Chain A
Amino acid sequence: MSQHSFRDTHAVCTERFAIELPSPDELVIALAGNPNTGKSTVFNALTGMNQHTGNWAGKTVGSAIGRFRHQEHSFTLVDLPGTYSLLSQSADEQVARDFICFANPHATLVVTDATNLERNLNLALQVMEVTDRVVVAVNLMDEAKRKGITIDFVKLQAELGVPVIPMTARSGEGLNELKEMLWKVALGHVTPTPKLTTYSEQVERAVTALLPQVEPLVSGVLRSRWVALRLLDGDESVLQALEQYTLEHPRLFSTGDVVIPS
């Protein structure tokens, strides 16, 4: 159920999120994860010196943007604030949620901590509810080994329905496999099929009742099921974000346009 199109990524990132992309062909990867999962180490390992930091417009939340090349393609990696959730109300979580929901990234990479998977999968499951194009990196495999933790990756990947890559970012282990998978997912060579959480019968009934009204309003922008669930949550910040990001249509840029981030 891929409702997203790649078409607008460039315009959306440059205009709405003030992220300058070198060309409309640029593949955009959002990087999410809990605090202390080694997310920054993964970011540094992927982008090397090729990065810069700034602030999200209007929020006191730091951002880092980095670039790397793989298989003749150029990637822009957007480091989102470390969060436990996309659903609570802090500025950090709203930035992460808005970027994953509205910037239309070609893939979202969720970095998790191998020594603490249970806690980390909460965010991964939430991201999977928003978008199909998810890759999960299980980082800190060296620490897990030292602690005697073994992970059944075949089973984990089957349970989640999205690619899962074991890695140790600080030694570079798994880095190539990760780049290769991001490339495949970003270009649609691999289509993840997230296994979505089924809620209680009561909630599912309410979602089914809401869908016919939600669908025509958000189709092509967001997954209707996710919006219906947020409506049931009474999450007004999602409604505000929907209004902010969908009412005005982004101007399309062409190659050679000069973009000055506001």
Chain B
Amino acid sequence: MEIIPLPDLLIGERARVVSLNATGAQRRRMLDLGLVPQAVIEALRKSPAGDPVAYRIRGAVIALRREEASLVMVTRI
């Protein structure tokens, strides 16, 4: 299964979280938002400028900037 950074996920696609490359407070924040290994994430829509992107994470819609999303490694499902 190919492991890709989250921003490579196309709108409408779903993926499973493999790992986080964030550390410290940023990692804590991501874990609190539900980005834990095995969590399912869906790319819902892009903002007009293409960044941030809205993702569905464990039942909540959360916008992530490319900078943050690129720290999340996923596999498509």
Contact = CB atoms under 8 A, between A and B. Distances in A.
Contacts of B2: none
Nearest to B61: A36
A84 B28 contact: no
Size class of the contact patch on chain A: 10 to 19
B65 to A, nearest CB: 15
A122 B28 CA distance: 12
Contacts, number: 34
Nearest to B58: A119
Given A89-B25, A233-B28, A234-B24, A84 B58 contact: no
Contacts of B59: 113, 115-116, 118-119
A interface, over-half SS: loop
Interface stretch (B3-11, B29-37, B42-50): B29-37
A141 to B, nearest CB: 16
B60 interface: yes
Contacts of B58: 116, 118-119
Interface of B: 24-25, 28-29, 32-34, 58-60
Interface of A: 34-36, 84-85, 87-89, 113, 115-116, 118-119, 122, 233-235
